[in-house]
């Protein structure tokens, strides 16, 4: 800076300072260099009569990574006010500022400006947008930018993968990584750091190992970040010796590397070793940070080291200069709670400068449960419900505590409070509830023979099953050598005239109930044609095995039971039905793992005329529904399990956990071949132009071949095809059509039958169906984005 100042003087005395180009070089050094001085840069800037866009960019860049990133945004606003046109270098810095801001969410407004200046094709800017949305405005938006990018490079893939990993969507991160590999991109160390983090979160030691081998084979340098990610991956997955080996082998370590080791050891019950590592930090002249102390305190919790934990907690400010944050208090509440010091824990929470959150209270509630302290638990539950009115878990814990203490009146009172809706559900959101009793038949029958060799025990009046009533031949099935069930355990076989039923009470204003369940057959060598009939007061559907739609011996089905209001009593009946008599048949239906999901009123989406065009609203996925949930033919819009769509043939409702989904968390795979598909209808204005957008893809389920989907909209029809190699691809299509006089129908029908190599029927994936009024002129700016621009300009002018 000394030399720079001398040069600056020379430039002033020789009037060269008026050469804006030369002045900008001075500014650049001050603003960007490690040995620079941002304040000096600001003075220089202010003394420049007409700073050019380079100077603006440089200053915005400096402020974007400063402790006050909002100053970068204010500079950008000044720049606009003075009429300086931002360029392709401006927005990466402005977007960086958005990403670095913790509180103000400005990404959407900046996005609007990017569009306004026509810079949305620039890859650096696309990257900045994805990053910005990932940290502040939701992954769905980030993914939308990613999906709609005209072109992608490794950085963009990496940013999106990192976005998932950092937001705890490890499975999504890994899925996208797989997809990236299938698109033949070669990951580098930056990409792999994020993927390793995802492997650590989701227990993917297998993939983590492969990445380690890949890194070694490719000679990718194990720098401190990639090295730390690797150590963390091994440590979190419990491969402690391997973690240590990597740790020792790293040339460079920082505090994060040590934290990965300490936290990994703490989590896996090696508390004392974690503390040993912690004590070694001193010798390595490494300074612990707040995360280190979280690890140390949690190690103390796990090992019950009450005194040492307290010592660390009460001296951390003095010794390490770290103020205890809510995370540290969380550990302490846990530590005190485990030691039975519930009142002290409660006092500790009251004394915090932060507002206690659900995690802190949750730790205390667990301790209350452990020690049976109902008095404290009641106070804690009250606090939890203030913070999170929908927290059923807290009620359940308290209710169980009453039950354990024999306070049955309190139990039923609690239940009533829940039913009367002091725990109100938010409309439009779905929830999965424990509405049914014994829904997976794991509460055993009254006289389950302990050493019985029989896997099928006949129910009778002395041998009943909790929660259910039954008639006819009903058998209690236990998984074993000759019976396989979704979660092992138990299930119910419905034999001759077999029927089970259960009554539950609807709670909430007109809520729709969707049932998911698994169905298998008691013998895989079936002659007779037997089906299962599931019925409720307003609906009935018949399920039978016709084709193989998954690799398991059971299949998962979804059905809408009906819509009921508060207090209505619903009788759910499951019974066998013989459609082709064979008295020697042993081929009866076996049902298991029933799951009820409720859906509130349908939310309207302003930029899509079709509600549920993304198929996000449908039946629940079971843990065992890796192959998706089958929806059978249902011609009624009102009775369909897939909101707003009728079903032809059989379609599979698939989720992002187990399949490649073009958008959001769920999609439809048309599996039963020719003329199977989905249909919806909408009142449109007669003769007006509309635009229908949708995505056609494959589910990454090895379903390969040519997919042909016929799309009908009003009186228009068109075929769309996709050559699938079954590894997760998607194509976006659109078509225009005219609205009809009454209801206009929109139909997606498969024109081909496809089978996987293992014989399983499969087919095209449909997702992201968007219907919009078309305004005639061709614009690649979508209406929503145009609206966004106007909104943003309005907001910006308010700021000014």
Partner DNA sequence: GTAGGGTTAG
From the CB of 91, what's the least distance to DNA, in Å? Answer: 8
691 binds DNA (CB under 7 A): no
Q: By CB under 7 A, what part of segment 749-788 binds DNA?
A: none
From the CB of 777, what's the least distance to DNA, in Å? Answer: 30
529 binds DNA (CB under 7 A): no
290 binds DNA (CB under 7 A): yes
By beta-carbon proximity to DNA, the closer residue of 165 and 671 is 165
From the CB of 28, what's the least distance to DNA, in Å? Answer: 7
Q: Where are the beta strands (DSSP E) in 380-523?
A: 430-432, 456-458, 469-471, 474-478, 490-494, 499-505, 511-521
By beta-carbon proximity to DNA, the closer residue of 215 and 590 is 215
> Would you state the structure tokens that stand for residue 666, as one six-digit string?
């769920």
By beta-carbon proximity to DNA, the closer residue of 124 and 738 is 124
From the CB of 732, what's the least distance to DNA, in Å? Answer: 21
Total site size for DNA, rule CB under 7 A: 81
By beta-carbon proximity to DNA, the closer residue of 214 and 408 is 214
By beta-carbon proximity to DNA, the closer residue of 88 and 657 is 88
From the CB of 227, what's the least distance to DNA, in Å? Answer: 7
When binding is defined by CB under 7 A, the residue of 87, 269, 427, 710 that contacts DNA is 87
88 binds DNA (CB under 7 A): yes
Strands 469-471, 430-432: pairing kind:
unpaired
Q: Where are the beta strands (DSSP E) in 443-489?
A: 456-458, 469-471, 474-478
Contact 324, 330 (CB under 8 A): no
Q: What is the dihedral of CA 83, 86, 90, 95, to 10 degrees?
A: 90
Q: Which residues pair with 488 in a beta bridge?
A: 486
237 binds DNA (CB under 7 A): no
Cα 755 from Cα 362, distance rounded (Å): 49
By beta-carbon proximity to DNA, the closer residue of 158 and 373 is 158
When binding is defined by CB under 7 A, the residue of 7, 48, 167, 254 that contacts DNA is 254
By beta-carbon proximity to DNA, the closer residue of 365 and 722 is 365
At 191, give phi and psi (nearest 5°): -60, -50
From the CB of 40, what's the least distance to DNA, in Å? Answer: 17
Q: Which residues pair with 47 in a beta bridge?
A: none
Element (H, E) at 725: strand 716-725
Cα 198 from Cα 169, distance rounded (Å): 8
DSSP string, 120-189: TT-HHHHHHHHHHHHHHT-HHHHHHHHHH-S---HHHHHHHHHHHHHTT-HHHHHHHHHHHHHTTPPP-H
Report the 10 Å Cβ neighbour count for 354: 11
By beta-carbon proximity to DNA, the closer residue of 86 and 740 is 86
> Would you state the structure tokens that stand for residue 769, as one six-digit string?
């169906």
By beta-carbon proximity to DNA, the closer residue of 200 and 631 is 200
When binding is defined by CB under 7 A, the residue of 11, 32, 115, 674 that contacts DNA is 32
User: 205, 208, 183: which is closest to 195 by C-alpha?
Assistant: 208
DSSP string, 291-316: HHHHHHHHHHHHHT-HHHHHHHHHHH
From the CB of 49, what's the least distance to DNA, in Å? Answer: 15
Three-class DSSP category at 390: coil
From the CB of 712, what's the least distance to DNA, in Å? Answer: 40
By beta-carbon proximity to DNA, the closer residue of 289 and 501 is 289
Stretch in the footprint of DNA (CB under 7 A) among 226-234, 428-436, 484-492, 545-553: 226-234
At 238, give phi and psi (nearest 5°): 80, 5
From the CB of 197, what's the least distance to DNA, in Å? Answer: 3
From the CB of 102, what's the least distance to DNA, in Å? Answer: 11
> Would you state the structure tokens that stand for residue 488, as one six-digit string?
């092992």
Q: By CB under 7 A, what part of segment 6-25 binds DNA?
A: 20-21, 24-25
By beta-carbon proximity to DNA, the closer residue of 199 and 587 is 199
From the CB of 23, what's the least distance to DNA, in Å? Answer: 8
When binding is defined by CB under 7 A, the residue of 69, 295, 619, 714 that contacts DNA is 295
From the CB of 223, what's the least distance to DNA, in Å? Answer: 5
By beta-carbon proximity to DNA, the closer residue of 335 and 522 is 335
> What's the Cα-to-Cα distance from 632 to each of 238, 530, 559, 662, rounded to whole Å?
43, 16, 8, 23
> Would you state the structure tokens that stand for residue 97, as one six-digit string?
């500022």
From the CB of 339, what's the least distance to DNA, in Å? Answer: 15
Contact 262, 295 (CB under 8 A): yes
DSSP string, 191-239: HHHHHHHHHHHTT-HHHHHHHHHHHHHHT----HHHHHHHHHHHHHTT-
User: 421, 477, 423, 405: which is closest to 445 by C-alpha?
Assistant: 477
By beta-carbon proximity to DNA, the closer residue of 59 and 385 is 59
From the CB of 140, what's the least distance to DNA, in Å? Answer: 18
Q: Mask 136-175, x = binds DNA (CB under 7 A)?
A: -----------------xxxx-xx--x--xx---------
Q: By CB under 7 A, what part of segment 379-418 binds DNA?
A: none
> Would you state the structure tokens that stand for residue 621, as one six-digit string?
């996925």
From the CB of 795, what's the least distance to DNA, in Å? Answer: 25
Ramachandran class of 353: left when φ > 0, alpha when ψ lies in -120 to 50, beta otherwise:
alpha
Stretch in the footprint of DNA (CB under 7 A) among 206-214, 221-229, 774-782, 790-798: 221-229
By beta-carbon proximity to DNA, the closer residue of 194 and 750 is 194
From the CB of 288, what's the least distance to DNA, in Å? Answer: 10
Q: By CB under 7 A, what part of segment 313-332 binds DNA?
A: 325-327, 329-331
Contact 103, 88 (CB under 8 A): no
By beta-carbon proximity to DNA, the closer residue of 258 and 476 is 258
229 binds DNA (CB under 7 A): yes
Q: By CB under 7 A, what part of segment 411-470 binds DNA?
A: none
Q: By CB under 7 A, what part of segment 651-690 binds DNA?
A: none
Contact 476, 445 (CB under 8 A): yes
Cα 635 from Cα 653, distance rounded (Å): 17
> Would you state the structure tokens that stand for residue 404, as one six-digit string?
């354990």
From the CB of 260, what's the least distance to DNA, in Å? Answer: 5
By beta-carbon proximity to DNA, the closer residue of 176 and 256 is 256
Q: Mask 92-131, x = binds DNA (CB under 7 A)?
A: xx--x--x----------------------xxxxxxx--x
Q: By CB under 7 A, what part of segment 257-286 binds DNA?
A: 257, 259-260, 263, 267
61 binds DNA (CB under 7 A): yes
**Through-space distance between the first and last CA atoms of the chain, rounded to whole angstroms:** 35
> What's the Cα-to-Cα distance from 155 to each of 118, 574, 652, rounded to whole Å?
21, 53, 34
Q: Mask 549-588, x = binds DNA (CB under 7 A)?
A: ----------------------------------------
When binding is defined by CB under 7 A, the residue of 52, 183, 272, 688 that contacts DNA is 52
Helix H, strand E, coil C: the string for 23-65 is HHHHHHHHHHCCCCCHHHHHHHHHCCCCCCHHHHHHHHHHHHC
Cα 790 from Cα 772, distance rounded (Å): 19
By beta-carbon proximity to DNA, the closer residue of 206 and 434 is 206
When binding is defined by CB under 7 A, the residue of 298, 516, 539, 576 that contacts DNA is 298
């Amino acid at each position: 800076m000394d030399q720079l100042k001398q040069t600056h003087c020379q430039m002033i005395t020789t009037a060269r300072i008026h050469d804006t180009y030369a002045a900008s070089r001075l500014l650049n050094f001050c603003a960007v260099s490690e040995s620079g001085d941002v304040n000096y840069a600001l003075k220089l800037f202010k003394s420049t009569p007409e700073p050019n866009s380079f100077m603006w960019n440089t200053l915005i860049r400096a402020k974007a990574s400063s402790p006050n990133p909002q100053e970068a945004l204010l500079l950008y606003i000044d720049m606009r006010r003075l009429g300086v046109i931002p360029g392709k270098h401006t927005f990466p810095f402005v977007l960086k500022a958005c990403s670095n801001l913790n509180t103000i969410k400005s990404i959407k407004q900046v996005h609007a400006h990017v569009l306004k200046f026509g810079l949305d094709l620039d890859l650096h800017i696309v990257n900045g947008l994805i990053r910005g949305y990932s940290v502040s405005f939701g992954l769905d938006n980030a993914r939308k930018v990613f999906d709609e990018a005209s072109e992608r490079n490794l950085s963009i893939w990496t940013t999106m993968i990192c976005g998932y990993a950092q937001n705890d969507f490890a499975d999504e991160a890994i899925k996208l990584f797989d997809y990236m590999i299938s698109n033949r991109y070669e990951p580098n160390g930056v990409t792999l750091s994020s993927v390793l983090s995802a492997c650590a979160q989701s227990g993917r030691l297998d993939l983590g190992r492969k990445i380690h081998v890949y890194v070694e084979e490719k000679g990718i340098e194990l720098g401190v970040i990639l090295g730390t990610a690797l150590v963390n991956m091994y440590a979190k997955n419990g491969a402690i010796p391997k973690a240590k080996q990597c740790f020792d082998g790293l040339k460079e370590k920082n505090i994060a590397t040590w934290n990965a080791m300490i936290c990994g050891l703490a989590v896996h019950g090696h508390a004392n070793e974690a503390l040993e590592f912690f004590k070694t930090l001193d010798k390595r002249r490494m300074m612990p940070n707040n995360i280190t102390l979280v690890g140390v305190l949690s190690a103390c919790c796990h090992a019950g080291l009450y005194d040492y934990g307290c010592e660390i907690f009460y001296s951390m400010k003095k010794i390490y200069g770290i103020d205890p944050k809510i995370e540290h208090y969380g550990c302490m509440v846990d530590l005190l709670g485990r030691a039975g010091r519930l009142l002290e824990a409660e006092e500790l929470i009251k004394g915090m400068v932060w507002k206690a959150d659900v995690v802190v209270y949750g730790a205390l509630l667990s301790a209350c449960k452990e020690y049976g302290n109902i008095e404290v638990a009641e106070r804690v539950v009250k606090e939890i419900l203030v913070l999170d009115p929908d927290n059923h878990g807290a009620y359940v814990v308290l209710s169980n505590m009453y039950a354990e203490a024999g306070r049955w009146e309190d139990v039923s009172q609690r239940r009533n409070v829940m039913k009367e809706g002091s725990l109100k559900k938010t409309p439009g959101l779905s929830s999965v509830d424990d509405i049914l009793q014994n829904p997976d038949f794991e509460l055993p029958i009254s006289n389950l023979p302990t050493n019985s060799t029989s896997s099928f025990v006949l129910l009778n009046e002395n041998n009943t099953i909790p929660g259910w009533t039954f008639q006819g031949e009903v058998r209690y099935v236990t998984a074993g050598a000759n019976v396989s069930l979704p979660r092992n355990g138990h299930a119910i076989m419905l034999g001759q005239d077999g029927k089970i039923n259960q009554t539950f009470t609807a709670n909430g204003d007109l809520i729709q109930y969707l049932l998911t369940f698994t169905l298998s057959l008691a013998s895989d060598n079936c002659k007779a044609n037997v089906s299962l009939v599931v019925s409720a007061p307003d609906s009935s559907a018949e399920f039978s095995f016709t084709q193989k739609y998954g690799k398991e011996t059971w299949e998962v089905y979804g059905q809408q039971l009906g819509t009921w209001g508060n207090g209505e009593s619903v009788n759910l009946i499951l019974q066998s039905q013989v459609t082709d008599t064979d008295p020697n048949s042993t081929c009866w239906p076996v049902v298991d793992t029933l799951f009820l999901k409720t859906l509130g009123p349908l939310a309207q989406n302003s930029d899509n005329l079709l509600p549920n065009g993304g198929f996000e609203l449908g039946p629940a996925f079971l843990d065992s529904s890796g192959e998706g949930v089958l929806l059978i033919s249902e011609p009624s819009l009102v009775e369909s399990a897939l909101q707003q769509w009728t079903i032809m043939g059989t379609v599979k409702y698939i989720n992002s956990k187990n399949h490649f989904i073009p958008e959001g968390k769920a999609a439809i795979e048309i599996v039963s071949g020719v003329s199977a598909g989905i249909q919806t209808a909408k009142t449109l204005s007669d003769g007006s132009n509309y635009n229908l957008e949708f995505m056609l893809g494959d589910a990454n389920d090895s379903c390969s071949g040519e997919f042909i989907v016929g799309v009908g909209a009003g009186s228009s029809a068109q075929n769309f095809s996709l050559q699938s190699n079954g590894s997760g691809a998607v194509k976006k299509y659109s078509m225009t059509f005219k609205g009809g006089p009454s209801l206009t129908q929109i139909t997606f029908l498969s024109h081909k039958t496809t089978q996987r190599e293992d014989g399983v029927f499969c087919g095209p994936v449909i997702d992201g169906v968007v219907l919009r009024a078309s305004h005639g002129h061709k614009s690649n700016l979508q209406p929503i984005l145009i609206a966004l621009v106007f909104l943003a300009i309005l907001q910006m002018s308010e700021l000014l």
